[in-house]
Amino acid sequence: MQILLVEDDQPLAKGLQKALGQQGYVVNHVGTGEAALHVIEFDKPDIVILDIGLPDIDGITVLKKARKKDKELPVLMLTARDGVDDKVAGLDNGADDYLVKPFEMTELLARLRVLERRIAAVKTNEIVIGHVCMDTVAQLVSVDGKEIELARKEYMLLKSLMENAGRVQTRSTLETRLYSWGEEVSSNAVEVHIHRLRKKLGNDFIKTIRGVGYKIHAEGRA
Ligand code: CA
């Protein structure tokens, strides 16, 4: 995964470059908006981490120009703590996400994984989490490379959980999903289907968040 890091704060950039490198990302670092636009045009990265406050043209302008050329390019904005207006402007101009400085490295890595999953899903129609792979076009699910049989409702619940991996899906959200897909839903339908899914996927894949709902960890394990 190739990342373009646009950040004029040298110590921060060096730290990020090192930490992301250790996670296996290839990081190309530039410190100006002009340099960023050049790289986006001639050596397109997979993901852009874009600081808003840059010495030449600001990050929002860079984002606007980049979006004109490539609507799909995933962009994660970095904003200063007091830059609430910047955040709104960034998202209005098509940023996929933003992080407020200072941020934890674990938070940045989590956001990057969300973007990566989105990229992978667009490219292949596949969501892969741990040992489970879902093809959302063919509507097939495989575990450790072996295709498994899922009932329609099981598939729909699993899809909802995998698409939102890392986030809790409440019981009522999942029930609403079943209703909206035109299914008859009994009062314990969600529990029943989750139980069946666990038999097929292993007990650890779907976590119960007691009193709230269910969750799949982004890496497929706790
Ligand atoms: Ca800056």
Q: Name all domains of the chain by residue range, CATH numbers in brackets.
A: 2-122 (3.40.50.2300), 126-215 (1.10.10.10)
Q: Decide: helix, strand or coil at residue 179.
A: helix
Whether the CA torsion 54, 8, 15, 26 is positive or negative: it is positive
Say how many Å lie between the CA of residue 25 and the centre of ligand 1.
22
User: How buried is residue 112: exposed, middle or buried, by Cβ count under 10 Å (0-12/13-18/19+)?
Assistant: buried
- Specify the length of the chain in residues: 222
Say how many Å lie between the CA of residue 10 and the centre of ligand 1.
9
In degrees, rounded to 5, the angle at the alpha carbon of residue 164 between the alpha carbons of residues 163 and 168 is: 150
**Placement of tokens 């890392």 in the chain:** 166
Q: Alpha-carbon distance 180 to 83, whole Å?
A: 39
Say how many Å lie between the CA of residue 214 and the centre of ligand 1.
39
| Structural contact between residues 58 and 33, judged by C-beta atoms closer than 8 angstroms | yes
Say how many Å lie between the CA of residue 68 and the centre of ligand 1.
23
DSSP state of 26: E
pLDDT on residue 222: 44
Say how many Å lie between the CA of residue 120 and the centre of ligand 1.
30
Q: How many CB atoms lie within 10 A of CB 186?
A: 11
Say how many Å lie between the CA of residue 119 and the centre of ligand 1.
27
The residues pairing with 213 across neighbouring beta strands, listed in sequence order, are: 170, 209
Question: Which strands make up the sheet holding 213-215, listed edge to edge?
Answer: 169-170, 213-215, 207-209
pLDDT on residue 195: 96
Average confidence (pLDDT) per 10 residues, the chain, 222 residues: 95 95 93 96 93 94 90 89 71 82 92 86 83 91 95 91 87 82 76 95 93 85 48
| Structural contact between residues 7 and 13, judged by C-beta atoms closer than 8 angstroms | yes
| Helix 152-163 and helix 171-180, axial crossing angle in degrees, nearest 10 | 130
Q: Decide: helix, strand or coil at residue 99.
A: strand
